[in-house]
Structure 1
Amino acid sequence: MNTNTNQTTHQRTGRVPVVLIRHAQSQWNRENRFTGWADPPLTDAGIAKAHAAGHRLHEQGYVFDAAYSSRLRRAVTTLDSLLEELGQNEIPREQAWQLNERHYGTLTGLDKGEAIKHHGEAQVWRWRRGYHDRAGALTRDDPRHSCHDPLCHDIDPPALPDVENLAETRARVMRYWQSEIEPRIRRGERLLISAHGNTLRALIMALANMSEE
């Protein structure tokens, strides 16, 4: 949401601020690789950008009652930086795997330029931006599969995706939004959410009632 609106305006209009932040630059962003559920750290430039965003929110007077991130450290570190700048490290926080990035399946870790060379620009674009298109699925014996990731060991194995399209990402995110986040908004809580490009695309698509087109 628009961070140019200050806290006084929110109080005057009675609107509840819910701020959605896409994580800052990760190491794989810099290397132009498909990331998905892989867990590279932020770059130094990414950490600096996250602190700058937190400073901007502080200047605008934002105060939050709780914060959310995915379990992936690029989103977690972004949230850490935001809350540090806001001076709000003590608010309740939740790390939810349901807010993880879209799962890219067999594209995970591949250089995007190399993927275009092998599969063609049009196909890669459909995988990245199509609503129903998905890449190949990872097998459960592939070391890149989330079933081998300690971050996911408490998740019911059938719930772990092998690959996702945007429609499936939207369904995953919206189930969590409706069950966990929406009730807090209705109670008037002010929330900060640090997540991912496709997660937030899917969420905004649903909340704004956008068509597939």
Structure 2
Amino acid sequence: MEQDQTAEKANPIKNEAWEWMKALLIAAALVFIIRWLIFAPFIVEGPSMEPNFYTGERLIVSKFIYKLSKPSRGEVIVFHATKDKDYIKRVIALPGETVKVEGDKVYVNNQVLDEPYLRQALDDAAKKGIPYNTRNFAEKTVPEGTIFVMGDNRSNSQDSRDIGFIKYEQIVGRADLIFWPFNKISLVRH
């Protein structure tokens, strides 16, 4: 009789431990799936995306979005620039489009690109009587399977003008949310 009572007491403890183990394994699997397949954190480094993103800001990058669709003009993406370095830039031109940069104007298919995300910075530079962009780019056609990207800080950005067109395979994902610092939590303007 005593053995039956001891076995009954041991079983609830074993059962509870097993339930906790299952819950922890499921949580770990979900973290792995979400972190490695769907979303990834990214830390902004350097001034290339100012005035819209600053060094130290942390973003959530949607890795899954480009499994369903291709990047669109104006979206902010993270991509593998080198084997060891990821960059954050804005999509400017898509495959088959022509792109040219002259002064503060970006032309896509011979049309001036409307860039509302830079309007304030362009206005501020114009009031000071200085160009916002000091680096031009001769007209080129974006090859199939690639995109042309630029940093928002046009005079201080290593982008497609320097490193060339970005292949779809290099893209990590789309920046969707600023989550740090807390006073800047917001959705990314595309």
**TM bucket normalised to smaller:** under 0.3
Greater strand share, structure number:
2
Scaled by the length of structure 2, what TM-score is found?
0.25
Richer in helix (by share): 1
Could you say which structure has the larger radius of gyration? Answer: 2
**Which structure's relative contact order is higher, taking Cα pairs within 8 Å and 6+ residues apart?**
1
